[in-house]
Amino acid sequence: MATTSNAGRAQKARPVSQQSRLRNLWENIKSIVGALAIFLVLRAFLVEAYRIPSGSMIPTLLVGDWLFVNKAIYGAHVPFSRASLPAYRDPKRGDVVVFVSPYQADEDQLGHDPTPTLVKRLVGTPADTLYMRKGLLYVNGIAQRQGYGIAPPDSVMGTAVSPLFDWQKKVGLQSSRFGSAPSQPTLDNWGPIIVPPKRLFMMGDSRYNSKDSRYWGFVPRENVRGKPLFVYYSYNADDSDRPMPYITDIRWSRIGHWIK
């Protein structure tokens, strides 16, 4: 009788143990889903990582820099919509900004992403008058400091002409207190142009190595995605001669570098 009774108790205990395992599994699933949801919310509305793939912002940003980007400061973009959350402040002239590029037909024809996410410096806000003469940028008639690693004007590159500059011919001022726009804009000589409402003008710090608003025009305010905060990881990705440079050629001095 005792053996039968013990067997009966053992059989009854099995469902309880199975329920416990199922309960633990469910709790683990909820924890994982909750953590994933928090990560997605943080990534969508607060902070996101971004990698620098080109040298258009040298020396401020280097190829191989990985950045944390504050998405909330300018109003985080709501995914799968054209809406944005309220901003702490609007982008200011001089800010380094992450944004979605206006449509670039030439990149589309090459099979590339025609609206890539880019990092440039904001040089013109609504109502600003911009122009360049001999490679020097003027904002509202004031020459801008050249402390962004700009190469000395090159007689060949500075006079370069591109059909992508032709959009400027429609907006260039024919007469103004700053003079008139050249009939043919070049890399070093263009404008004056006035930045329209709710539009921004972006340029790379490495002026001769940057495809920017000079080529594809004004950036809609709603395209802005955030402001880079600091470099959290960096390695020599452009000219390293070491194997696995992401491990062997880390730029330790860049880690923690605040972006200005």
29 falls within a domain: no
The pLDDT tens digits for 78-92 are 776 677 777 789 999
Domain enclosing residue 130, as ranges? 46-254
- Selected catalytic residue, list 71, 101, 120, 210: 120
CATH number assigned to the domain comprising residue 112: 2.10.109.10
- Selected catalytic residue, list 56, 206, 210, 213: 56
91 falls within a domain: yes
Rounded Cα distance, 10 and 25, in Å: 23
Q: How much is the pLDDT for 48? A: 80
CA distances from 67 to 62, 122, 168, 191 (A): 11, 18, 32, 33
Query: Is there a catalytic annotation at residue 120?
Result: yes
Q: How much is the pLDDT for 140? A: 96
Q: How much is the pLDDT for 32? A: 73
Q: How many domains does the chain have?
A: 1
105 falls within a domain: yes
CA distances from 92 to 16, 126, 135, 136, 140 (A): 63, 10, 23, 20, 15
Query: Is there a catalytic annotation at residue 56?
Result: yes
Rounded Cα distance, 167 and 218, in Å: 10
pLDDT-flagged residues of the chain (< 70): 1-16, 27-28, 30-31, 34-47, 80-81, 146-155
- Tokens representing 164 are 């992508």
Rounded Cα distance, 134 and 157, in Å: 11
Query: Please, are residues 227 and 69 in contact by the beta-carbon 8 Å criterion?
Result: yes
Q: How much is the pLDDT for 213? A: 97
| DSSP codes joined into one string, 186-215 | -SS-EEEEEPPTTEEEEE-SSGGG---HHH
Q: How much is the pLDDT for 243? A: 86
Query: Please, are residues 143 and 171 in contact by the beta-carbon 8 Å criterion?
Result: no
28 falls within a domain: no
Q: How much is the pLDDT for 30? A: 64
109 falls within a domain: yes
236 falls within a domain: yes
List of long-range contacts for 137-141, beta carbons under 8 Å, 24+ apart: 137/203, 138/178, 138/191, 139/93, 141/177, 141/178
177 falls within a domain: yes
20 falls within a domain: no
